[in-house]
Amino acid sequence: MDWKEDPWKGVFAATLCAFNEDESIDEEGLREYFAEVASVDGIKGLTCNGHTGEIMSLRPNERARVTKIAAETVRDAFPDVKVISGVSAEGSLEAIDHALAAKEAGADAILLMPPHHWIRFGRTAQTAIGFMQDVAEGADIPIVIHQYPAWTKAGYTLAEMLEMVKLPQVVTIKMGTRDMARWLYDYEKLKAAAPHVSIVTCHDEFLLPTLLEGADGALIGFAGFAPELMVEVVHAALEEDLARAKAAQKTVAPLARIIYNFGEPGCGAHQRMKVARWLMGRFASPHFRRPVRPLTNEQIQQIRKDLEAIGFECPRAAAASARN
């Protein structure tokens, strides 16, 4: 099957979450945003409740509500766009509960994160594989494995992933190893073992190198920020059009520096992403949930200046000044 026809290959946008000033979910703003991103030709799916979507600040019922809003938004208007809902839990039973809630809310798949206590305490291979098996059997919903960086104790080894892809529910690996020495080798071994499982990069900061080394697409927060640009870069790379990919990357690179500041995706980058999109008039509000504190006026104005310097208009510049 050509990658364009495969529902689990291509560009998947990790989406932001819109909040009102009182930290409640801005449902109208969220629907408008989901619809805008889903309408971009080439977007294969929306991934809500990821780190970009501030999953750690959302209560369980709110995660399900965000998933339902995404599913309702795309169901009729964009029926080919998948809805993937992030699941983050510390134990198998809780993860199954969240996965079932996402399934009931209309998710086509879940993005299953590893339990975060593993980052501190580690785990055995049997535990890591068993966690994936537990959720696959307990919820029976398509799973996107979220591979964490190799430098964390939560990242999976190749041997562990080779066991996980045997599960029929596993459809994709969101590969976030962030170890370029492993990238191609892991890709080749996994594709040989399970050619039906897509492997998509989440390396916003190494997007083009990972796509060219070996990937079936990208699941990235940057696609929830600048979806048209991400579709152009990813599609050019998948079509092996290096000149076109490099030309698109020249447009992406200065914008990425504003958001990622030469680092990995993280809370600070997601906050800058939300504020930048708000400044450009393409997001309902700049509010992040606590415990994250608002950017200072100086930080917001610097984002505005940097955006305008590379040709992006910021119609909310006056509103940003009035807020501080």
Instruction: Say which residues have a Cβ less than 8 Å from residue 194's Cβ, sequence separation at least 6.
Output: 165, 166, 170
Mind listing the pLDDT tens digit for each residue in 92-141?
999 999 999 999 999 999 999 999 999 999 999 999 999 999 999 999 99
* Helices 207-214/180-193 angle, 10° precision: 40
Q: Which helix (H) or strand (E) holds 171?
A: strand 170-175
Cα 324 from Cα 314, distance rounded (Å)? 17
13-26 b/e with 16+ CB inside 10 Å = b? bbbbbbbeeeeebb
Which pLDDT score, from 0 to 100, does residue 322 have?
A: 64
pTM of the prediction?
0.96
Burial level of 213, CB count in 10 A (0-12/13-18/19+)? Answer: middle
What does the pLDDT profile of the chain (324 residues) look like in tens digits? 789 999 999 999 999 999 999 999 999 999 999 999 999 999 999 999 999 999 999 999 999 999 999 999 999 999 999 999 999 999 999 999 999 999 999 999 999 999 999 999 999 999 999 999 999 999 999 999 999 999 999 999 999 999 999 999 999 999 999 999 999 999 999 999 999 999 999 998 889 999 999 999 999 999 999 999 999 999 999 999 999 999 999 999 999 999 988 777 888 999 999 999 999 999 999 999 999 999 999 999 999 999 999 999 999 987 776 665
**Two tokens, residue 79:** 């029926």
107 and 85 Cβ atoms separated by less than 8 Å:
yes
pLDDT of residue 266: 84
**To 10 degrees, the CA torsion angle through 244, 246, 247, 253?**
140
Q: Can you give 93-157 as a three-state secondary structure string?
A: HHHHHHHHHHHHHCCCEEEECCCCHHHHHCCCHHHHHHHHHHHHHHHCCCEEEEECCCCCCCCCC
Rounded CA-CA distance 214/166 in Å is 21
Segment holding 227, helix H or strand E: helix 227-238
10-253: CATH class: alpha beta
Number of alpha carbons in the 13 Å side-chain half-sphere of residue 69: 24
